[in-house]
Amino acid sequence: MKRLGKYIALFVAVLIAVAPVYWMLTISLKLEVDQFASPPAWFLFSPTVAHYTDAFVTRSFGQYLLTSAIVAIVSTISALVIGTLAAYSLARFHLPHNLDNKLSLWILSTRMFPAIVTAVPLFLMMRDLRLINTRLSLIIVYTGFNLPFVVWMMRGFFAELPRDLEEAALVDGDSRFGALWRVVLPLVAPGLAATAVFCLIVSWNEFLFALVLTQTDAAMTLPVGIAGRVTQYEIKWGVMSAAGAVALVPILAFALAVQKYLVRGLSLGAVKG
């Protein structure tokens, strides 16, 4: 009896978590008649891809999608390169005055800033640099945004590696950089990949900076494009749902790929799940 109650509770929890997402998917596939049906049609309706072609062929969502992909990929790569170097330094070298630990904490603290606090000055700075409505502005901002995360995640992965490997490489005549490149990096590759996926997810989902920095069709990301449609008076529910469905496909695939590191990534390395 008790067991049954447990399963019912979990079933309800799963239903509540998944049903709303499924509901949006049905709306994206429904003709307008079916969208407004009462009572709501959960399973039986004649599907159509009209909203998808409307969004991505007729309207500019294809362009937003491209911008989102470019910004996410480029900012992830640059954050990863810069952050991994710093993380290795902080994990392996002892700086005078305990500076390595102080720097690590300071880097973490920059991640704790509420986004709106830096959004205002960053907008003004980008305006001065004439970078408003460019993909470059988003790439720069997301690189800075993801950097503390990369440093903390990679610092943890480096710290878990035994030092003997590098010592052996150095004895064999490798340079310090050579030891990092040929010996250490291949060993942290899984952690590096997981960190990259987290950066991709964060950049792909980010909304506030994108909203502030990009207003034109040529520069805005998918979330901003979707939001622009939601807050208008007449809302094309099908188009919006189709865009939303496309926006969440890569995310779900990514999330599946990093399940093992999920807790660690989401808690900034504080909990090793």
Partner 1 sequence: MLKSKKFFSAANRRDLFFPLILLAPALAVLLSLSIYPLIYSIAISLQYETANGLTWGVSNFGRLISDRFFQIAMLHTFVFAFFALLLEFSIGLGLALLLNTHIRGRGFVRAALLVPMMLPTVVVGVIWRLMLNPNFGAVNGTLKRFGLNTESLTWTASPRLAFGSVVLVDVWQWTPFVFLVLLAGLQAIPQEPYEAALIDGSSRWQTFRYVTLPLLKPAILIALLLRTMDLLRVFDQIFILTEGGPGFATETISLYIYRTAFRFFDFGYAAAMSFVLLAMTNVISTIYIRFLQTKEAR
Q: How far apart are the first and last CA of the chain?
A: 32
Q: Is 14 in the site for partner 1 (CB under 8 A)?
A: yes
Applying CB under 8 A, among 119, 132, 136, 187 the residue interacting with partner 1 is 119
Please list every residue from 62 through 91 that binds partner 1, using CB under 8 A: 82-83, 85-86, 88-90
Provide, rounded to whole angstroms, the least separation between the CB of residue 196 and partner 1.
16
Q: Is 154 in the site for partner 1 (CB under 8 A)?
A: no
Please list every residue from 28 through 47 that binds partner 1, using CB under 8 A: 35-40, 42
Applying CB under 8 A, among 66, 70, 136, 262 the residue interacting with partner 1 is 262
Q: Is 123 in the site for partner 1 (CB under 8 A)?
A: yes
CA distance 233 to 245: 22
CA distance 251 to 253: 5
Applying CB under 8 A, among 69, 103, 132, 187 the residue interacting with partner 1 is 103
Show the 3-state SS of 235-273.
CCHHHHHHHHHHHHHHHHHHHHHCHHHHHHHHCCCCCCC
Q: Is 136 in the site for partner 1 (CB under 8 A)?
A: no
Residues with Cβ < 8 Å from 61, sequence gap 6 or more?
55, 222, 225, 239, 242, 243, 246
Provide, rounded to whole angstroms, the least separation between the CB of residue 60 and partner 1.
16
Number of residues that bind partner 1 (CB under 8 A): 101
Q: Is 17 in the site for partner 1 (CB under 8 A)?
A: yes
Provide, rounded to whole angstroms, the least separation between the CB of residue 137 and partner 1.
11
Contacts 24+ apart (CB under 8 A), 250-257: 250/200, 250/204, 251/201, 251/204, 251/205, 254/197, 254/200, 254/201, 255/201, 257/197
Q: Is 185 in the site for partner 1 (CB under 8 A)?
A: no
